[in-house]
Amino acid sequence: MIKRLLWPTGKTATRATVNVYDVLRSGENGLSSHQYARMTNNLLRPSTRFVNGPHVEFLEEFDRVGDAIFEDVHFFQTNYFKNAAECISFTGRYFEAKADSQIRDVARNFVAAHKGVRPDAHKLEHGHNAPDDPIVVAKVAESKCWTLVSGNHRLASRWVKGERTAKVEIMEEVVRTPLQDMLRDVHWQKNRTELYQPIPYPEVQDWPLVRKCSDRGALIIKYLENSNHRTAVDIGCSYGWFVRLLTQRGYDTYGIDRDLFALKIAELVYGVKSNTLIRDDILHFLANQRVPYDVVTCFSVIHHFALGLGAIGPEEFVSMLDRVTGSVLFFDTGQ
């Protein structure tokens, strides 16, 4: 029997059992994961698995080193402390702690609860839940993932004790992560749940991948092996997969795309530096580029011109690519 419960806000919740590995990180101090991500400018926090977060990490470390974890030299380096300190910085408190110096007491209570010691009743007044209170999650749209709403400490304790599923209450509201929102905002996707290049985050693992990239990437690296080329540009770089690939191989690499959201994803997901990303129409860029690049890549672009969707024909477009290519041009015909 599925039991539905009414939340104070009027929203209902359903009781169910979920795979803890599919749960993503929450917000803090009553803020949703989406709100907290925007506040802290950590937009990938809601895309991070809970089991890879600071609460599980802290208990696993405690199980290895014991009370030594509370010593200054150790405690202040933990991600649990850093997460709590960030929460205080942005919201004014982390449970009963209002200053960094008080976070250790919260951590000690966390460990005590993990060991089965029930907290004093007055401590529950500062945002804590009782050990037997429900863990609350919300469904992440277009995925098998869940966003944790309430229960960081309790869920971490259960995971570290070996529980791989958890009984939860699922809020009726379905949510999206900031990463999902950004991907859907990329112009060519037209709000479709598709990936143009691989994105290694759990809530988009089931989205269809339009361009595999690794096949082209392997051929590029093999061809350029032992070459002495130094500069590269990816024309129509989208999320920046090839910009990162060539940058990691030591090339001074730039990416060109007119879609601002695609370029922001390149920075966010692949760590491409903003000063190597150029927001421009590719024809405008090619027409005004005076210095050639050693290596030019251009994938899934030329078919737009072949289909009559561009201002010029495919032959002229190839000629423009040729003018900016110093040594090697990689391209495919798309459709």
| 9: pLDDT strictly greater than 50 | no
Question: What pLDDT score does 12 carry?
Answer: 58
Identify the band that residue 78 occupies on the pLDDT scale cut at 50, 70 and 90.
Answer: very high
Mean pLDDT calculated for residue range 193-215: 94
pLDDT at res. 335: 60
β-strands 165-175, 12-19 pairing: antiparallel
Nearest alpha carbon to residue 217 among 239, 192, 242: 242
Determine the 3-state secondary structure of 72 from DSSP: helix
Which positions ≥6 away from 185 have C-beta within 8 Å?
261
Does the pLDDT value for residue 122 go beyond 90?
no
Residues 261/181, Cβ–Cβ less than 8 Å: no
Name the band, by pLDDT with cuts 50, 70 and 90, for residue 118. Answer: confident
Which residue, 201, 204, 177, is CA-closest to 192? 204
Task: Tell me what the pLDDT averaged over the chain comes to.
Answer: 92
In this prediction, residue 307 carries a pLDDT of 83
Q: Which residue has the tokens 């010593």?
A: 71
Count of alpha carbons within 13 Å of 36, Cβ hemisphere only? Answer: 24
Q: What percent of the chain has pLDDT over 90?
A: 82
Q: What is the pTM of this model?
A: 0.89
Specify burial of residue 20 (Cβ count, 10 A radius: 0-12, 13-18, 19+): buried
pLDDT number for residue 126: 58
Would you mind telling me the total number of residues written for the chain in this entry? 335
Question: What's the pLDDT band for 1 if we cut at 50, 70, 90?
Answer: very low
Tokens of 325: 């290519």
Q: State the DSSP string of 200-235.
A: --GGGTTS-BS---HHHHHHHHHHHTT----EEEEE
Contacts 24+ apart (CB under 8 A), 111-114: 111/59, 111/62, 113/153, 113/154, 113/157, 114/59, 114/62, 114/153, 114/156, 114/157, 114/160
Q: Lowest mean pLDDT of 75-84, 113-122, 301-310, name the range.
A: 113-122
Q: What is the pLDDT of residue 2?
A: 37
- Output the DSSP codes for 297-327: EE-S-HHHHHTT-SSS-HHHHHHHHHHHEEE
219-276 tens-digit pLDDT: 999 999 989 999 999 999 999 999 999 999 999 999 999 999 999 999 999 999 999 9
Give the side-chain half-sphere CA count within 13 A for 49: 15
What is the spatial distance between Cα 335 and Cα 314, in angstroms, rounded to a whole number? 13
Give the pLDDT confidence score for residue 100 in this predicted structure: 97
pLDDT at 200 over 90: yes
Average of per-residue pLDDT across 110-130: 73
Cα angle 99-105-110, degrees, rounded to a multiple of 5? 120
Which pLDDT band, with edges at 50, 70 and 90, does 8 fall under?
Answer: very low
Q: Is the pLDDT of residue 145 over 50?
A: yes
Strand partners, 137: 148, 170
Sorting pLDDT into bands at 50, 70 and 90, what band is 309?
A: confident
